[in-house]
Amino acid sequence: MDAHCREREEGALDTLFGVRREDVDGYVTSSQRASLGWDGREPGQRPKWGGGPLRAECSLIEERIEPREGAVLLGCSEYSDAPLGFYAEHGQGKAVLFNAAPLVYLEDRRRPGAGRNFQKFFGHVIDLSGVQPLVEILDAESGEALTGWRVWAFAHEKANYFGIAPDLDISQDVLGAISGEGGEGEARNVRLRFSKTGHIYEARTGRYLGEGDSVVDTLSSTTTRLYSVMPYRVEGMDLSLDGRTVRAELTVSAGQPGEHVFRFDRYDAQGKREFDGGANVVAENGSAVWTFEGELPEGGKIVCRDVATGVFAECGQ
């Protein structure tokens, strides 16, 4: 319809997506399985059921639509042979229409291994557009993409951060035990391939995982990870104490460090941390100064940790 709710002769985006409707007034939908594929398809060629490598339950499949000239079909429905995917090129641009609603994916994606067909199909659509994933999570042995994870990416100056958290059905009982659909704490070796290259750290555990764009690590349904990708390796930290003033500075493998955050903590002679005696301090160019209140206990010490990499140093009176 147009802005005044009058029906158009054809859809406003039909030409863009390569769609032609046989009967504008005969809008009919169905729910059935779809066969999805994209290899070796010629424009206008009608795919056969089972001709694609993927199967998925789809809802709201619009019937009575055909491809325009030049459009490539990416799949069809099982019973009515309705086209499921349209791919059309326009100059340097590309358009893809998925002629269905993957409603079951809303629940399936939260279970280990489920929703994989939809993920592969839409992953291929994204590949067609030239968009690269922020992080690929693959089985370390088979190389198969794993489902059930969410990714958060954040870039800050010279550093890139990637948060990985489970997206499964997690529950906690009245005694505090945590379990997930993938099994209680079930861990597996995975290969993570990042969209950035550099020196890779796992910030929560302070592990250095090497240089490059990929690492092998363990993930489970009840753990989270925060990976830091740096253009340099943090080789150490210089820490000095002058009265109540602490100075900390990172040493790196090449160039000048960017902005980091340091965590300062005070410990007594028995090694017990003072819970209200520390601070987080922004370290411009990898350097920061912190002045604490009161006096450091005799035999006590100051510990400073770089939050992004886990590198730390300590000093005392």
pLDDT in tens, the chain (317 residues): 889 998 888 888 999 999 988 766 667 889 988 888 766 567 767 777 777 777 888 889 998 888 888 888 888 888 888 888 888 988 888 898 889 888 888 777 666 566 777 877 787 777 777 788 899 999 899 888 777 788 999 999 889 999 998 876 555 565 666 555 544 446 789 999 999 999 999 999 999 999 999 999 998 877 899 999 999 999 999 999 998 999 999 999 988 899 999 999 999 888 899 888 899 999 999 999 999 988 888 889 999 999 999 999 999 87
What confidence score (pLDDT) does residue 120 get?
Answer: 76
Q: Is the dihedral of CA 59, 62, 63, 67 positive or negative?
A: negative
Give me the pLDDT at residue 126, please.
78
Residues 206 and 106 in one domain: no
Q: Is residue 263 part of a domain?
A: yes
Q: What is the pLDDT of residue 183?
A: 42
Count the domains in the chain.
3
170 and 267 in a single domain? The answer is no
**Cβ atoms within 10 Å, residue 136:** 19
Q: What is the reported pTM?
A: 0.72
Q: Quick one: 84 and 146 in the same domain? A: no
**Can you give the CATH number for the domain in which 201 is found?**
2.60.40.1180
Q: Are residues 224 and 238 in the same domain?
A: no
At residue 112, the pLDDT reads: 59
Would residue 181 count as lying in a domain? yes
Q: Are 239 and 226 within one domain? A: no
User: Does one domain contain both 124 and 142?
Assistant: no
In a domain, 73, yes or no: yes
Q: Write the CATH number for 261.
A: 2.60.40
Asked if the structure places residue 7 within a domain, the reply is no
Among 189, 211, 230, where does a domain finish?
A: 230
Query: What is the structure's pLDDT at 292?
Result: 92
Q: Are residues 261 and 166 in the same domain?
A: no
1 within domain boundaries: no
Which of 110, 128, 146 marks a domain boundary? 128
Asked if residue 114 and residue 25 are part of one domain, the reply reads: yes
Q: What range defines the domain where residue 270 resides? A: 234-316
Domain stops at, among 100, 128, 156: 128
